Amino acid sequence: MLVAASSAPALTLSLADIGMQVRAAHPTLKAARLAVAEARGRQLGAGRLSNPEFGYGFQNQSNVSPQTGIFSIDQAFPITRRLSLEKKLTSQLVGAAELEVRDAERRFIAEAQSLAVQLMSLTQQRALRRQQTALASKLSDFVRGRAKVGEISALDAAQAQVDAQRLLLETRKLETTTVSLLGQLKPMLGLQPTDALNFSGDLPPLAVPGMGAGWMQRADYQLAQTKIAAALTNTNLAKARRMQDVTVGLFASREMQDVTPTHRERTGFLGFRISIPLPFWNRNQGEIAEKTASAERAWLEREALGKQIISEAETARREMQANADLAHETRDKLLPLVVEQTDKLEKAYEQGQTNLLTILRAREQRLQLEAAALDAVRDFHLARIRYEAATGKHAPAVPATSSTPTKR
């Protein structure tokens, strides 16, 4: 268990709790979720008719014309599917914003879990160094006692003491690395630098999964699918804009004229008008070409992302297998032999049958193997986290916001 000292109550997390804590407390994710609210806000204003226009005109009476007041109201109406396409596009963009947040969660959870695995591994490495330091100190005391009575050289006593100090220095270096990693992890969990953080539980067993097809539910791949659908909608919307809106209006006039000094004549009329734009010079060809190219780019980006995901997942799975084999071979085969040989050499040294340098060399080999086994376990779990991130297992599966587009 790793403990970061603090006067505040410690936050205790297992490796499985990291994802939930990151989702709840990561400051960047809190800001990213506002992008979804922004997209929903844009959705509220999409697909609506433009506001009607009210007009009023007044002309005073003259010798040749009456006093006239004209009231009018005009409304523009699309003659294409522009409004429905705008609604559809903003709905797809809301789905894209949600998927971007899910993808950010996937990446941040993988990063936080990687830091947690490194910290848990450092805890084991520090425990190993402390154990080796205790053994080295015990050997140093033994050698120093033998040197005082002249049974062995004082140089051996000095060398044993140097070896014990070297192990102590390595332990302090590991503590420095731990502080650095905690400084990176705490902000991702919503903690202050002075907050205490504990890790509970052990790392999962070294089990290598088979390659599955679940990666297609990964958030960024679903996002790529949504971008294709949005690009196709955008293309259709550009085509719909080839014809501008038709404007329909009603107008009414009230006229008044003094025919004689004692007689005033009042008349009026009611009329209807329509304005139809003629697409002679501009049929929106530029925007149509732009959106068509954008849709094609979205297809190619999705294909490239799919290949990248497959490569990432398979590479991580192979790394898991290699590190699992290395850990098992080191712990089950090599390390027992080295431990047995070291114990024999220590007994031989106590009986004066070998020298101190041989003992120190054997202990160094044992330490290297034990540290290598811990490193292999650490690297296995780092590869496992990359595999789970590549296959989208850090976040719950997200249903597609629209049906999978079929390339035409």
| CATH number reported for the structural domain that contains residue 241 in this entry | 1.20.1600.10
Domain count, the chain: 1
Reading the block at residue 31, the tokens are 């800001």
pLDDT the model gives residue 165: 72
Question: What domain range is 275 assigned to?
Answer: 11-390
Instruction: Let me know if residue 396 belongs to a domain.
Output: no
- Rounded Cα–Cα distance for residues 258 and 329 (Å): 114
Instruction: Let me know if residue 181 belongs to a domain.
Output: yes
pLDDT the model gives residue 83: 92
Instruction: Let me know if residue 404 belongs to a domain.
Output: no
pLDDT the model gives residue 408: 41
CA distances to 125, 180, 275, 362, 375 from 333, rounded to whole Å, are 20, 34, 89, 16, 16
Instruction: Let me know if residue 74 belongs to a domain.
Output: yes
Q: Give the containing element (helix H, strand E) for 253.
A: strand 246-260
Instruction: Let me know if residue 200 belongs to a domain.
Output: yes
Instruction: Let me know if residue 5 belongs to a domain.
Output: no
pLDDT the model gives residue 402: 40
Instruction: Let me know if residue 255 belongs to a domain.
Output: yes
Nearest in space to 141 (alpha carbons), one of 168, 125, 354, 133? 133
- pLDDT means over runs of 10, the chain (408 residues): 53 87 89 90 89 90 80 92 92 93 92 92 84 69 61 60 72 86 90 86 82 78 94 93 92 82 80 90 90 94 92 90 90 79 72 65 76 89 91 56 44
pLDDT the model gives residue 6: 46
pTM: 0.78
pLDDT the model gives residue 394: 59
Q: Do residues 289 and 295 lie in contact, with contact meaning Cβ atoms separated by under 8 Å?
A: no
DSSP 319-356: HHHHHHHHHHHIIIIIHHHHHHHHHHHHHHHHTTSS-H
Query: Are β-strands 11-13 and 246-260 bridged in parallel, bridged antiparallel, or unpaired?
Result: unpaired
